[in-house]
Structure 1
Amino acid sequence: MELARYIGANYQPEEGLSPQPESENLASKEPPIKITRGFQVSNGCIEFFVRIDNNSEHGLFDVAVELELPEAFELLSPKTVIAGNISPHYHEAVTFLFTCHQCTTNDINAAVKYKDHQNKFHIQQMPEYKIESCKYIMPQDLSRAEFEAKFDKAPQKAWDVRLKEGTSQEEVFRRIQEQLHMSTVTASGNQIELAGRSKDGRDVLYKGVVKNSEGGMYLSSLTVSELERITIGIACEIGNSLKDKIEQVSLKQTQLLQKQDQALGKLDDIPALLEQYGPKIEEAIAKFDDMETYLRDHLASDWEKIRGAWTEAKNGEISKKEFAKRAITTLGWKVIKVVMGRFH
């Protein structure tokens, strides 16, 4: 579908492009020329046109339009485009091609330069023209309204991911952007919205919100696409990406704890720890079926130091109390913090 939003009811573009009824005519009193601006989006690029109507009784000569763009836009055509000579009561139009590097709302400036019939040189500055780039550069060149309407009845997948303590919102958003390779539509506060194409060319919309609750920090995500399998696929990609991040954070925390323990040496009061936390370790072993996996994942390389004791306890060779004693004696606060975290 082609998005075409034209401004200027009198403009008759070539190649079947039709203007909308809305118009903006920028007429000058001296000299008597009329400037009409507008644009369409095609293949991810903005085609910006400027039409010059000669309403005088004399010809205009060496007419040229010079475009000024903000840094957010990249001009793909020459900065100055020649319109040539314009006969009385005729018009000429020039087209500029540019794209954007980021979501932006910016003013576009241009100047029309020409000579009159007396060979006097004139410059007429075009009033600023505002374009909200990400409102229009969408998959398949849909407008923002068309894009969102397209997904009103499309398959949706919503899911929450609990973020590891210490994971920043900025890091989460960065990971999402890296994983999806989409154009960021909005990113403000704790929300991010992206739009793009799947690997097989389907339109995809992603919305994410980072929120805090009593249970911790969560990423609440909504993915919408034309096909259910794409929606689920995007969900898996984001989930795996965040999982990798969580594992990295967990490893860093484990390494930090190791350094702390090395600095503390044997300062821990083992008997006191056994008395206070030994029963909790026994309770965790009895209560949670996944304790082996949980300990292995959260203790990382330290798991090997108590794996033998766990195997003996699992086989009934030693008691749960004995395992708790060996674990606390070997790892101290490390294993206590991991086990206590399982209760939350």
Structure 2
Amino acid sequence: MASANTSWSEENFSCSICLDVFNNPVTTACGHNFCRTCITKFWDEQVKYKCPVCVKVFDTKPDLQVNLLLSDMASQFRTSVRVKEQPCVEPADVPCDFCTGTQLKAVKSCRGGLISYCQTHLEPHQRIAGLKKHRLVEPMDRLEDRMCKIHNQLLELFCKTDQVCVCQSCTETDHKSHPVVPLKEEYEVKTAQLGKMEADVPQMIQERKLRIKKLKDTVEMSKKVADRELADGVQVHTALMGCVEKCRDEFNQTVIERLKSTVKRVEDLIKELEQEIEDLTNRGSGVKQLSHTEDHLHFLQDLRSLKDPPPTRDWTHGGGPSSVIRRDLEEIPGSAGGH
């Protein structure tokens, strides 16, 4: 049967009055099939009860019974057609929770069962009296997350005071005195704010990029200034070192010259003292020899020659060799006797 149905078209299951797939199909005595509602309405508008297809006239209004086989086949065909016509779920769509194979796009979500249905699986909610009482809403993904955990009602309002989503019962308890608006209204407000923020973000980014550039330019300029100051510092240091070295050389030369002068003066004094020592030694020898002479004539004659001692410097009263040398040393900077 299933293989046969696949080769049938919609014409095989269409009512010739409404031209749609049979709904509660009935068969007339002449063998033609119609929707119960269609043929009943057709006969109500006619004077005679006749078949719309073969125009066979019936003496009395026929007692029509539902063609169960055709009704079942039409229902199966209608379901297969709906499945083919229904789009498969896309990444951004809400999937049907009942589809087991290829998931179809949900067209409604049931708040009662927290389940989303495609057009095919939604059919019981449109037919069964108990299910008709369920509140259907636009398809929502993860419907359980959209329900109030306290009252088990749909979160469809927004509390401006606490900035949270609430259900209708919440507005009568914890949020009773708080201003609330529908989620759509708050969504539009927040979307507008985000739109403005989105428009402001590029400008804010550009401003920060310019500030970064200025900071980098400042760093670059500071580096150049630092390099220039370092170069100047090297020049100043070099100049100072040159001056210091020159002063040092001059100082060293002065010290060396003074030392040479002192050494020469000391050497001259030593020679002078040595000469005086030699003269004094000779005089001492003469005096000693004379003191042992008993010849009065020779003594007096030789004594006369000793009256004039050899010329010598007066080394007393600070004029001695040590004083001279000390004064010369005091003139040498950094010497032991210097200031």
- Bin of the TM-score, shorter chain as denominator length: under 0.3
Task: Compare relative contact order (CA 8 Å, sep 6+) and give the higher one, 1 or 2.
Answer: 1
Kindly indicate which of the two structures has a greater share of residues assigned to helix.
2
Structure number with bigger Rg: 2
TM-score (norm 2): 0.19
User: Which has the larger share of strand?
Assistant: 1
